[in-house]
Amino acid sequence: MRSAVVFAIIALILAAAAGLIAYLLYRKKLNEAVLSGEHPTHSKVAAPGEVIPKLIVVLLLVWDFILLINISSLRTQLLTAENNVMGQIGQLKGQLLDLEKQLEAQDLPLKDYDFAPGALDRQSLTFPLHLTATPKEVSDDTRLILTYGSRQVEMTRGASGIYTADLTFGLFEEIPEVPTIQILSGGKTQIETLDSAIYGAGFWSVFLPLPDIFTSDLEMTLKNGTLSVSGSVACSAYGSKDGVNPVKASLELVHNGSVIKTIPLEEAINPDGKPQQLKLKESIASFGENDEFLIAAVLENDLDLTVRQVAAWYAGGSGKESDSGIQILDKSGKVLYE
């Protein structure tokens, strides 16, 4: 802004100088004409009345240019200020969330809690879960009641004021609600939800190796009753989990529930988890408009369980990609989880 003002002052000084020079030249020419007897209309020097309007036009153009520069500069400053304000608002929101969590943590009755799953029983497909909880305040009558799924047990108090409980769960047991601990002390009852606990139907994910499959540039098109499938697929197996090891991996192409092709993936099982890459180019004839086609990664482990994960499917006239669709079967083909 300051430079624009300086520029305007310089322009005004130059314009005034140009006007003064034009006036002096005109007077000089006029005097010469009077002395020599020439008619002033033959003078080629512009009169001040002609120069000044032109100078005004030039000055207006210069001023407009300065205004445009200032407007552009102000716009840039406003955008920068807006970005800074938005960034500060984001930081404040983050700080508020952290503060809310800290305040909530201060109101929570537990100082700490932890879960430690034990080894999986390969015959019964069950495992022990050891839980510990430490209340912030402990008195002689303090009791902790743990509710975990359909189980409700009183936790055992140790000498150091840490409460413990041991439960046994099935690998595919569902826990529909978040576990809670009731703290009963001094005639008051407080409840804390154990948000980091394992619940839902996710126990199997702690122990079972899973296939990791993803597609790239996959195309599925239906034309004249033939479904054409082409593109890249990569698949790898996570390493062993708590003694459960992957033993065989493959890719299945499924048409209306029937496996029409199985592609072995020997390289997908490796210690470093490097994926096996392969190209697909398949044609499925006699494919109806209501038919369904699936591409699934299949991983077998040494528990005689099979984990299938759907990577892509074609149905209803369109193809879709997905990294969900987990299904777990036993050696007889019975579905244990989906």
Tens-level pLDDT at each residue, the chain (338 residues): 555 556 556 666 766 666 666 666 666 665 666 566 555 554 455 555 565 666 667 667 777 777 787 788 788 888 888 888 888 888 878 777 766 665 555 567 888 899 888 889 999 999 999 999 999 888 889 999 999 988 999 999 998 889 999 999 999 988 888 999 999 988 888 999 888 888 777 788 888 888 888 777 888 888 989 999 998 888 887 666 677 888 899 999 999 989 999 999 888 887 776 788 889 999 999 898 889 998 989 999 999 999 998 888 888 766 666 656 788 999 898 998 88
Lookup: tokens for 96: 């508020």
Q: What's this model's pTM, rounded to 2 decimal places?
A: 0.62
Distance between CA atoms of residues 168 and 179, nearest Å: 14
Distance between CA atoms of residues 21 and 27, nearest Å: 10
Lookup: tokens for 76: 């840039």
Q: Can you say how many angstroms the Cα of residue 286 is from the centroid of all Cα atoms in its chain?
A: 41
Lookup: tokens for 199: 């619940």
> What number of CA atoms fall less than 13 Å from residue 111's CA on the CB side?
8
Helix (H) or strand (E) holding 85: helix 48-107
Among 185, 117, 182, 188, residue whose Cα is nearest residue 154: 182
Cβ atoms < 10 Å from Cβ of 8: 15
Report CA dihedral (299, 305, 311, 312) to the nearest 10 degrees. 120
